[in-house]
């Protein structure tokens, strides 16, 4: 980055079903260590032609991320994947953000478990040419290098939290305690809306 040029913007995609403290820690550490201007969370939209199943509606997930980041400096939520029809592809989200922030470098934040999935994403080679990746360590997952692409990675080694939305959904369904894993506003929202019930 040239001195004097604006700081990069971090994009943090995911289903956030629901958002938990592991996500918030990842965003905070990426912000701090990679000197980002801000982090924009991008919750994925509703998958087309699929019954909802364990995935809460996109609007609820978007609202929960808003509640989760409410008190976090330099963090916000974008509805871009909710507004788009059809499946939401990361490459399209990045293009949309490039149009919105033409002078900014964009960095895409992922947890270590997600790196090996990138080659399954739509037009992933275009994606890795367009952004740098910030990879946040995730306990229980080893980082596997991405082969066959000149992808650019920044690794952020944090002592991450052993939390996953899958585990939290299971706890909520069984009525078990979730401790401090969820922001209080998110937990209250889940209870009020009756999300993740059996
Ligand atoms: P699920 O169990 O439903 O897959 P999740 O906890 O993995 O949920 P996602 O919404 O799938 O959450 O993740 C969004 C992004 O956040 C992904 O890049 C994922 O790797 C990253 N991430 C999720 N939890 C953590 C964590 N505890 N530490 C670091 N990164 C995380
Ligand atoms: Mg996941």
**Do residues 175 and 39 touch, judged by C-beta distance below 8 A?**
no
**Do residues 35 and 84 touch, judged by C-beta distance below 8 A?**
no
- d(C-alpha 130, C-alpha 151), whole Å: 9
Query: How is residue 54 annotated by DSSP?
Result: T
Distance 3 CA to ligand 1 centre (A): 33
Distance 175 CA to ligand 1 centre (A): 22
Measured from the Cβ of residue 61, the count of other Cβ atoms closer than 10 Å reads 25
- Please tell me whether residue 66 adopts helix, strand or coil conformation: helix
- d(C-alpha 65, C-alpha 59), whole Å: 10
Closest residue by Cα to atom 28, ligand 1, is: 138
Pocket test for ligand 1, best of 16, 140, 165, 170 (most atoms within 8 A of CB): 165
Check residue 149 and give its pLDDT: 64
Q: 79-99 in b/e burial notation, b at 16+ Cβ within 10 A?
A: ebbbeeeeebbbbbbbebbee
**Do residues 59 and 82 touch, judged by C-beta distance below 8 A?**
yes
Check residue 194 and give its pLDDT: 96
pLDDT band, very low/low/confident/very high, at 181 (cuts 50, 70, 90): very high
Residues with CB under 6 A from ligand 1: 14-17, 22-23, 26, 110-111, 113-114, 136, 138, 160-161, 163-166
Residue 2 pLDDT more than 60? no
Q: What's the angle, vertex CA 174, arms to CA 171 and CA 176, rounded to 5?
A: 55
Tens of pLDDT, residue by residue over 31-75, are: 999 999 999 999 999 876 666 678 999 999 999 999 999 999 999
Closest residue by Cα to atom 7, ligand 1, is: 164
Atom of ligand 1 nearest to the CA of 114: 20
CB-count exposure of residue 78 (10 Å: 0-12, 13-18, 19+): buried
Closest residue by Cα to atom 26, ligand 1, is: 22
- d(C-alpha 50, C-alpha 43), whole Å: 17
Which residue shows structure tokens 């990842």? 26
Distance 103 CA to ligand 2 centre (A): 31
Atom of ligand 1 nearest to the CA of 161: 27
Tens of pLDDT, residue by residue over 71-125, are: 999 999 999 999 877 778 999 999 999 999 999 999 999 999 999 899 899 999 9
Share of the chain above pLDDT 70, in %: 92
Check residue 1 and give its pLDDT: 52
The mean predicted confidence, pLDDT, of the chain is 91
Which residue shows structure tokens 């701090």? 32
Element holding 14 (H helix, E strand): strand 9-14
Distance 1 CA to ligand 1 centre (A): 28
Distance 74 CA to ligand 1 centre (A): 20
């Amino acid at each position: 980055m040239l001195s004097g040029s604006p700081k990069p913007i971090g994009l943090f995609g995911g289903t956030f079903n629901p958002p938990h403290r592991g996500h918030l820690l990842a965003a905070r550490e990426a912000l701090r260590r990679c000197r980002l201007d801000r982090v924009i969370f991008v919750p994925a939209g509703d998958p087309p032609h699929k019954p909802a199943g364990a995935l809460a509606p996109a609007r609820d997930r978007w609202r929960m991320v808003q509640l989760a980041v409410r008190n976090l400096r330099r963090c916000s939520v974008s509805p871009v994947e909710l507004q788009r029809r059809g499946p939401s592809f990361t490459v399209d989200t990045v293009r949309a953000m490039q149009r919105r922030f033409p002078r900014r470098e964009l960095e895409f934040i992922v947890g270590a478990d997600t790196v090996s999935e990138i080659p399954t994403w739509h037009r992933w080679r275009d994606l890795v040419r367009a952004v740098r990746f910030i990879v946040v360590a995730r306990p229980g997952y080893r980082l596997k290098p991405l082969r066959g692409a000149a992808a650019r990675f920044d690794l952020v080694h944090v002592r991450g939290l052993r939390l996953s939305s899958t585990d939290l959904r299971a706890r909520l369904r069984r009525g078990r305690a979730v401790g401090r894993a969820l922001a209080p506003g998110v937990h209250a929202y889940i209870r009020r809306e009756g999300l993740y019930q059996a």
